[in-house]
DNA sequence: ATTTATTAATGTGTATTTTGCATTAATGGA
DNA sequence: TCCATTAATGCAAAATACACATTAATAAAT
């Protein structure tokens, strides 16, 4: 059952004239005649009542004309949709990203994506640092934006941004600028820091920072969630070290003091992920 | 776009293995490989991600697998339905019949039809005698059961039954049997008769009846509807002449006196009506 | 590291199907 | 009765699909 045959049938069912129809669909009358015959034979029923002079739909033919028209439309739509999936213009992608960039990079990126591919479905999720690679490998997420360098085989990774680290203090705090920082003055402070994670490159940078001042900080509380940390600092419960992306969040009552340490933001994906949606998004991310 | 190709695709999308699938669908692996390739080419997209070792659906392929399965089911159902239309096992037929047989022949006929073709849709309509042929020719009805012989070209006709005419009188009427009828006694009666129609063979029979008694009846009322006539007779407003099929109606308070005149019941249809439903019904009507 | 088994793709000749051209046969109208 | 129209058909050519054998890539085994 060739769909082309059905198209010929539909054309003939409109014209009810072999010669005119044949011309319209660019085949000879003989070919059309045989196409209809084989269609009838294949279905085991008669589509047209015809003699050498007139062509007329049978009740079954009339029924099939109506139904097939609907089906062909449906199928055409399906094929178009599939084509969009193929081109990565439609489909779903799940992205995990850290809280730090939800007010800076993410809005920009999402705006870019929706402008270029309005039909795309994007799912944003927050995943604990320690789970990101596992989720990526288990197809729970397709893209992981993180501050950790990964060395997993099968995961590809690329830096998309660099942030300075900043010391975050309440507005009424004695630290006004980088000059106020010293081993002595820092030793007095209570710190709110991210959860320490063995082998996490982000914690290593923070460790390195304290090492440069040669002391071990008094860590009053660990939290992985930047917004929690910021709220605690604002209440005067301690001071924190965060990527300066957080300056883009509307956070009154806080002062950010830039530090000479940088943290990279990386984007990770499965090396064997051939979803065209991913390719399109990576292209967008890297194109400028 | 050959539906067979889509079936091959669906088989492969289940097995994800060319050799096994090829065996299952009874072609060689080479043929299957090319079928899938040409399908991909035709659609302009990739259905499977494959290397020499593994076969896996792409997102577009996964989508098409789901959709095509539904569409193929739909199409198969449509074809089955069309086949039934072709065989006359499904479809609609509109039948006009006189009131006189609605309690005798019609129930029998309808029972027969629904037993043989349970999927058939039957529309019963009451049409005035004078309109029957016109409605038949204009495709408003497909079968006309009537007591009138027609001589229209293009309309085929066959007798299916013969009724005696009967004189219908109230139970308390002095006429008890055929012996009570005479020109004198009949002259005293008021008659309720069918609408007189020039050239109608049924009225001609009734005319012939009165001619045999050599008088012109005192016709108090004309009606074409048997049930109306019966109601009037029961109320004692007059007596009537009807086909004795009416004896099958539950009509207490009436006496039917058979007369030695017969009226034929004919079934009429368009000679050029090739609706298979019609053929099946005619076969049923004439088969015994 | 090398070998082996597996398996999708492909080159090639053959078989099948479809097509176009020319012709035929049926039919309605002049 | 003849003519014009038009769907069907015989036939050869073209296009397409197929099977067989082979190739090439790769995962598993040694």
Closest CA to B146 of B210, B224, B93: B224
B161-264: CATH topology: D-Maltodextrin-Binding Protein; domain 2 (3.40.190)
Rounded to the nearest 5 degrees, what angle is found at the Cα of B275, between the Cα atoms of B273 and B281? Answer: 100
| Residues from chain A contacting residue B8 (CB–CB below 8 Å) | none
- Asked whether residue B53, judged by its CB, lies under 7 Å from any atom of the DNA or RNA strand C, the reply is yes
Smallest CA–CA distance, residue B46 to chain A, in Å, is: 7
The two structure tokens encoding residue A83 = 């084509």
The answer for residues whose C-beta is within 8 angstroms of residue A46's C-beta and 6 or more apart is A40, A58, A60, A61, B86
Q: Which residue is nearest to nucleotide D22 (CA to C1')?
A: B30
Low-confidence ranges of chain A (pLDDT < 70): 198-199, 288
In a mutational test of the A interface, the residue from B82, B271, B280 whose CB has the highest number of chain A CBs within 10 Å is: B82
- Asked whether residue A21, judged by its CB, lies under 7 Å from any atom of the DNA or RNA strand C, the reply is no
In a mutational test of the B interface, the residue from A43, A60, A67, A119 whose CB has the highest number of chain B CBs within 10 Å is: A60
Measured CA to CA, the distance from residue A55 to residue A37 in angstroms comes to 13
B91-159+267-286: CATH topology: D-Maltodextrin-Binding Protein; domain 2 (3.40.190)
pLDDT digits (tens, 9 = 90+) for A117-133: 999 999 999 888 888 88
Measured CA to CA, the distance from residue B200 to residue B149 in angstroms comes to 8
| Residues from chain A contacting residue B277 (CB–CB below 8 Å) | 59
The beta-carbon neighbor of B2 closest among A2, A59, A274 is A2
Outline which parts of chain A fall under CATH 1.10.10.10: 3-84
Outline which parts of chain B fall under CATH 3.40.190.290: 161-264
Q: Give the CA-to-C1' distance from B204 to D9 in angstroms.
A: 55
CB A215 within 8 Å of CB A209: no
Measured CA to CA, the distance from residue A166 to residue A245 in angstroms comes to 9
- What CATH number labels A163-262? 3.40.190.10
Task: Report how many Cβ contacts below 8 Å link chain A to chain B.
Answer: 86
Q: Which residue is nearest to nucleotide C24 (CA to C1')?
A: A52
| Residues from chain A contacting residue B44 (CB–CB below 8 Å) | 83, 86
CB B195 within 8 Å of CB B206: no
The answer for residues whose C-beta is within 8 angstroms of residue B287's C-beta and 6 or more apart is none
Q: Give the CA-to-C1' distance from B19 to C2 in angstroms.
A: 28
Question: Strand, coil or helix: what is B224?
Answer: coil
pLDDT of residue B13: 95
Measured CA to CA, the distance from residue B282 to residue B286 in angstroms comes to 6
The answer for residues whose C-beta is within 8 angstroms of residue B37's C-beta and 6 or more apart is none
CATH class of B3-87: mainly alpha
The partner residues of A239 in beta bridges, in order of sequence, read A191
**Contact between chains at B59 and A276 (C-beta distance less than 8 A):** yes
288 residues of chain B, pLDDT tens digit each: 999 999 999 999 999 999 999 999 999 999 999 999 999 999 999 999 998 888 999 999 999 999 999 999 999 999 999 999 999 999 999 999 988 888 889 999 999 999 999 999 999 998 888 888 889 988 899 999 998 888 788 888 999 999 999 999 999 999 999 999 999 999 899 999 987 776 678 888 888 899 999 988 988 888 888 888 999 999 999 999 999 889 888 888 899 999 999 999 999 998 888 899 999 999 999 986
Q: Give the CA-to-C1' distance from A7 to D11 in angstroms.
A: 27
Closest CA to A43 of A64, A57, A29, A27: A64
The region, left, alpha or beta by phi > 0 then psi within -120 to 50, assigned to residue A17 is beta
**Contact between chains at A60 and B82 (C-beta distance less than 8 A):** yes
Would you tell me how many other CB atoms lie within 10 Å of the CB of residue B138? 9
pLDDT of residue A250: 82
How far apart, in Å, are the Cα atoms of B26 and each of A124, B16, B32? 46, 16, 10
- Asked whether residue A274, judged by its CB, lies under 7 Å from any atom of the DNA or RNA strand C, the reply is no
In a mutational test of the B interface, the residue from A10, A13, A45, A77 whose CB has the highest number of chain B CBs within 10 Å is: A45
Outline which parts of chain A fall under CATH 3.40.190.10: 91-160+267-286, 163-262
With a pLDDT cut of 90, the percent of chain B lying above it is 65
Q: Give the CA-to-C1' distance from B10 to C4 in angstroms.
A: 32
pLDDT of residue A44: 94
Smallest CA–CA distance, residue B3 to chain A, in Å, is: 5
pLDDT digits (tens, 9 = 90+) for A135-149: 998 889 999 999 888
Bases of chain C within 7 A of a CB of the protein: 6-11, 18-22, 25-28
Outline which parts of chain B fall under CATH 3.40.190.10: 91-159+267-286
Chain position carrying tokens 């009506």: B273
- What CATH number labels A3-84? 1.10.10.10
How, if at all, do strands A155-170 and A254-270 pair?
antiparallel
Q: Give the CA-to-C1' distance from B287 to C16 in angstroms.
A: 46
The A-side interface with B (CB below 8 A) comprises: 1-4, 43-46, 49, 58-60, 63-64, 67-68, 71, 74-75, 78-79, 81-83, 85-87, 91, 274-277
**Contact between chains at A67 and B60 (C-beta distance less than 8 A):** no
pLDDT digits (tens, 9 = 90+) for A235-274: 989 999 999 889 888 888 899 999 999 999 999 998 888 8
CATH class of A91-160+267-286: alpha beta
């Amino acid at each position: 059952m060739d769909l082309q045959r059905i198209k010929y049938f539909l054309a003939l069912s409109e014209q009810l004239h072999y010669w005119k129809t044949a011309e319209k669909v660019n085949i000879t009358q003989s070919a059309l005649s045989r196409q209809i015959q084989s269609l009838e034979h294949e279905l085991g029923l008669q589509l047209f009542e015809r003699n050498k002079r007139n062509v007329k739909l049978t009740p079954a033919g009339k029924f099939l004309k109506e139904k097939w028209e609907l089906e062909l439309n449906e199928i055409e739509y399906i094929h178009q949709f599939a084509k969009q999936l193929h081109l990565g213009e439609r489909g779903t992608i799940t992205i995990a990203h850290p809280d730090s960039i939800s007010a800076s990079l993410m809005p920009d990126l999402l705006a870019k994506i929706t402008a270029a591919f309005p039909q795309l479905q994007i799912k944003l999720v927050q995943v604990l640092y320690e789970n990101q690679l596992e989720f990526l490998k288990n197809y729970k997420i397709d893209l992981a934006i993180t501050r950790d360098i990964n060395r997993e085989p099968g995961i590809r990774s690329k830096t998309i941004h660099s942030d300075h680290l900043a010391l975050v203090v309440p507005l009424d705090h004695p630290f006004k600028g980088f000059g106020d920082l010293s081993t002595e003055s820092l030793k007095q402070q209570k710190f709110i820091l991210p959860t320490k994670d063995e082998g996490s490159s982000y914690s290593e940078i923070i460790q390195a920072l304290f090492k440069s001042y040669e002391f071990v900080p008094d860590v009053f509380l660990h939290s992985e969630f930047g917004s929690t940390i910021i709220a605690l600092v604002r209440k005067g419960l301690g001071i924190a070290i965060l990527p300066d992306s957080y300056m883009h969040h509307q956070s009154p009552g806080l002062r950010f003091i830039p530090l000479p340490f940088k943290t990279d933001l990386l984007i990770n994906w499965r090396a064997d992920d051939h979803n065209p949606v991913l390719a399109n998004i990576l292209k967008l991310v890297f194109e400028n």
